[in-house]
Amino acid sequence: MGLVSPDYGTIFWMVLAFSVVFFILRKYAWGPVLKMLKEREQSIEKALQSANEAREGLSRLKSDHEKMLQEAHAEHDQLIGEARQIREQLISKARDEAVQETARVFEHAQRQIENEKLAAINEIRKQVASLSVDIAEKILKRELSDRTQQETLIKEQLSDLKLN
């Protein structure tokens, strides 16, 4: 039983006990414990990963949603813009057309008035001519009798003309 000389009895029991305990622990303790620890770590890792994925998916969905919303807004704006433009175009076109039409009608009316006026003037001239001829004829018929009468007659004729 020396301090530094190994005792074979101790060696014998140590080898026996250590081996037995080692194999028992390996089978019934370390094996299951290490396996379970590993499985637990893997499941935690997997859970974290899937949570991450879910978060990413959610954010992707959100961004998709936002994008869609934005697109819809943009389209809406565009449609309204187009409609407004079309309306303005239509209005301005209508206004132009109205202006043109008015001008055309006005011109036409003016021309007609002019024509009427010319026709009226011609008619007046013709009437004045025939009246003059008539007056002249009457004057010529009465001339011979009296000067005053002549003048009266002329006055008469002239007033008649006016009335006419």
* Residue 54 binding another protein, by CB under 8 A: no
Residue number, 26 or 55, with CB nearest to another protein: 26
CA-to-CA dists, residue 132 to 19, 71, 88, 128, 143, angstroms: 162, 89, 64, 6, 15
* Residue 51 binding another protein, by CB under 8 A: no
* Residue 45 binding another protein, by CB under 8 A: no
Say if residues 154 and 143 touch (Cβ distance below 8 Å).
no
Residue number, 4 or 144, with CB nearest to another protein: 4
**Nearest-angstrom CA–CA distance, 107 and 101:** 10
- Alpha helices in 8-146, H assignment, sequence order: 8-25, 31-142
* Residue 6 binding another protein, by CB under 8 A: yes
Provide the binding-site residues for another protein, judged by CB under 8 A: 1, 3-15, 17-18, 20-22, 24-26, 28-34, 36-37, 39-40, 43
